[in-house]
Amino acid sequence: MFRIGLGHDTHRLGAGDALVLGGIRIPHDKTAIGHSDADVLLHAVTDALLGAAALGDIGEMFPDDDPANEGRDSADMLHAAHARVTAAGWRVVNLDCVIFAQRPKILPSRQRIRERIAGILGVDVSAVWLKAKTGEHVGPIGEELAIAAECVVLVERARRD
């Protein structure tokens, strides 16, 4: 049995010195603003994974009004969500992700991001794909007011209950 999950996240951008994307710190003159480390990509992956297994969403697991989640590493959140999905009998087949950002260019960091996500999920790097789209200087993405990410994940039943 297979299931598909879809995840999305958006964060405002503000002055800073780096973005955290896919668990990788990328030098940049803006930073994402959020309760945790504001890693839009890992948040989208987490939601996609939880959704595929019908196990809630990132806001339920890690509420932004819980002080324990302030500044939290999104890789830890994804690891915990993955453990929950695995315990429920599901295995990640592959994921396909998109980052929406006018800047910075994602291509120079793509392989490192793919490797980081694959490591967290315990899958081969070939099961993780990532692409980026600009906002063509239009709207919040194009005007560099926001950054967003989407992810689709395919899981399969690893064992029968």
Q: What is the pLDDT of residue 70?
A: 87
Give, in degrees to the nearest 5, the angle at Cα 80 between 106 and 100.
20
The pTM (predicted TM-score) of the whole model is 0.96
pLDDT at 120 over 70: yes
Note the pLDDT of residue 103: 97
Q: Mean pLDDT over all residues of the chain?
A: 96
What per-residue confidence (pLDDT) applies to 4? 98
CATH number of the domain that residue 26 is part of: 3.30.1330.50
If you average pLDDT over residues 102-119, what whole number do you get?
97
Measured CA to CA, the distance from residue 74 to residue 72 in angstroms comes to: 6
State the pLDDT at residue 150: 98
- Mean pLDDT value across residues 12-26: 97
Q: Is the pLDDT of residue 87 over 60?
A: yes
What is the number of structural domains in the chain? Answer: 1
Q: Which domain holds residue 143?
A: 2-157
The C-alpha atoms of residue 14 and residue 54 are separated, in whole angstroms, by 34
Under the banding of pLDDT at 50, 70 and 90, the label for residue 158 is: confident
The CA distance from 53 to 141, in Å, is: 30
pLDDT at 21 > cutoff 60: yes
| Residue 7, SS3 per DSSP | strand
Express each pLDDT in 27-77 by its tens digit. 999 999 998 999 999 999 999 999 999 999 999 999 888 888 888 899 999
